[in-house]
Amino acid sequence: MNDSQDREPKTTESLPGEKVKHATLSSRVARVFQTVAMLCVLGLFALVAIKYSPFNPDRVPVGANHPGVGRQLEVLSLTPLTGEVNVLNRESILGRVTLINFWGTWCPPCRAEFPEMVAVARKFRNVPQFHFLSVSCGPPGEEDDLEKLRESTEAFIAQHPSDFPVYADPGLITRKEVNRVAGFSAYPTTILVDQNCVIRAVWQGYWRGLDHEIEQAIREVLTKNRSSGPVDN
């Protein structure tokens, strides 16, 4: 009896302990499954968000497939902010393939894109038939404050050196024209026009590899330009 009694308490005491262990293990497994399920839901949400994002190049026609391609810019008016003294108008760019990049120092995608635009501009800087226009834009509500725009642009350029002048678009004149013919809804926005100011490509937003797409588009338009011929650099 004594042996039986000695064994029985151990058994009755161990059963609750085992139950606690099993309960704890079950709780941990449940939390793991909940975490995995939550991660799966978040991952699915991210994929859907990317797929239907207005900046997803697989969803929105971009580049040479943009619906604005083939339409002509009839107005262009840009004022120098840095490194240049001449005001530009439409006649200033006629005869050359021109890439116009609208960006802002306050715009994270623009800041990420800027070094790549510098690299693209450098690749074609010795091509006389090509012109790159960098247009710094103020944040919404401050577009007309040119002095503030100049200060922020100069401060940014001081930390991100470039080989080209930067312009402003007072009164949003050029952006309104781009919006009229191709739509303007995001920064950065980059458009490529041929020697006749006809739009040949449009990109809105920024993503990895965009600089290569832009470079290829420039080469194709330059090649089609009768006065330029193929570009080798």
How would DSSP label each residue in 126-172? T-TTEEEEEEE-PPTT-TT-HHHHHHHHHHHHHHS--SS-EEE-GGG
Beta bridge partners of 82: 166
pLDDT at 187: 96
Does residue 66 belong to any structural domain of this protein? no
* One-letter identity of residue 102: F
DSSP H or E segment with residue 79: strand 77-82
pLDDT at 142: 87
156 and 199 assigned to the same domain: yes
Cα atoms in the Cβ-side hemisphere of radius 13 Å centred on 182: 33
Q: What is the pLDDT of residues 34-82, one digit of tens each?
A: 766 665 544 544 443 344 344 454 556 889 999 999 999 999 999 999 9
| CA separation for the pair 194, 12 (Å, rounded) | 88
186 and 113 assigned to the same domain: yes
**Domain count across the chain:** 2
44 and 111 assigned to the same domain: no
The residue from 10, 37, 52 where one domain ends is 52
Q: Say if strands 189-193 and 77-82 run parallel, antiparallel, or are unpaired.
A: unpaired
Does residue 60 belong to any structural domain of this protein? no
| CA separation for the pair 210, 233 (Å, rounded) | 19
82 and 147 assigned to the same domain: yes
Residue 83, both tokens: 């490194």
* One-letter identity of residue 89: N
- Number of DSSP helices (H) and strands (E) in the chain, helices first: 6, 7
116 and 214 assigned to the same domain: yes
State pTM to two decimals.
0.73
DSSP state of 102: E
Does residue 32 belong to any structural domain of this protein? yes
| CA separation for the pair 49, 45 (Å, rounded) | 6
What CATH number is attached to the domain comprising 87?
3.40.30.10
Low-confidence ranges of the chain (pLDDT < 70): 1-30, 32-33, 35-60, 226-233
| CA separation for the pair 73, 198 (Å, rounded) | 6
34 and 104 assigned to the same domain: no
Full domain range(s) for residue 153: 77-224
DSSP 3-state of 58? coil
pLDDT at 39: 59
pLDDT at 6: 42
| CA separation for the pair 151, 91 (Å, rounded) | 28
| CA separation for the pair 198, 209 (Å, rounded) | 24
pLDDT at 40: 54
Does residue 65 belong to any structural domain of this protein? no
Residue 155, both tokens: 């401060």
pLDDT at 85: 77
pLDDT at 34: 74
162 and 197 assigned to the same domain: yes
Q: Write out the DSSP string of 161-214.
A: --SS-EEE-GGGHHHHHHHHHT---SSSEEEEE-TTSBEEEEEES--TTHHHHH
Taking alpha carbons only, the member of 113, 112, 101, 114 closest to residue 218 is: 101
Q: What is the pLDDT of residues 192-210, one digit of tens each?
A: 999 999 999 999 999 999 9
pLDDT at 15: 41
| CA separation for the pair 56, 162 (Å, rounded) | 28
